[in-house]
Amino acid sequence: MRFLSHVKIKPTTTEEEINELLPAEQARFAELVEQGLIKSFYLSHTRDEHWSILIGDSLEEVRVAVESLPFYKFMEIEYTELVDEEI
């Protein structure tokens, strides 16, 4: 199943908090890409919002993977299941 995730970083998150966790976030994100869970990623020009195409057997599987990201505690996330068949 494919999902679109729309992530906004909470406005109360400080640059210091982001910088502290950035290396761990990048490493875990790369693992999820390598595992095939994250297929594509689009970052806004303000860097406080992004969209991803995620692949998983269920929304629960996708959510568990996203919750493993160090930045998760700073995220507000919306998920939308996408149609897998060609139109």
Q: What is the pLDDT of residue 66?
A: 96
Which of 61, 71, 55 lies closest to 7, judged by CA? 71
- 2-9/75-82 β-pairing: antiparallel
| Structural Rg of the chain based on CA atoms | 13
pTM value is 0.85
Across the range 2-23, mean pLDDT stands at: 95
Q: What is the pLDDT of residue 47?
A: 84
CA 10 to chain centroid, in Å, comes to 14
The CATH class of the 2-82 domain is: alpha beta
For 29-86, write each residue's pLDDT tens digit: 999 999 999 999 999 998 889 999 999 999 999 999 999 999 999 999 999 999 876 6
Query: What CA–CA distance (Å, rounded) separates 7 from 38?
Result: 13
Q: What is the pLDDT of residue 86?
A: 61
DSSP E strands in 1-87: the ranges are: 2-9, 38-43, 49-55, 75-82
Q: List the domain boundaries for the chain.
A: 2-82
Q: What is the pLDDT of residue 84?
A: 75
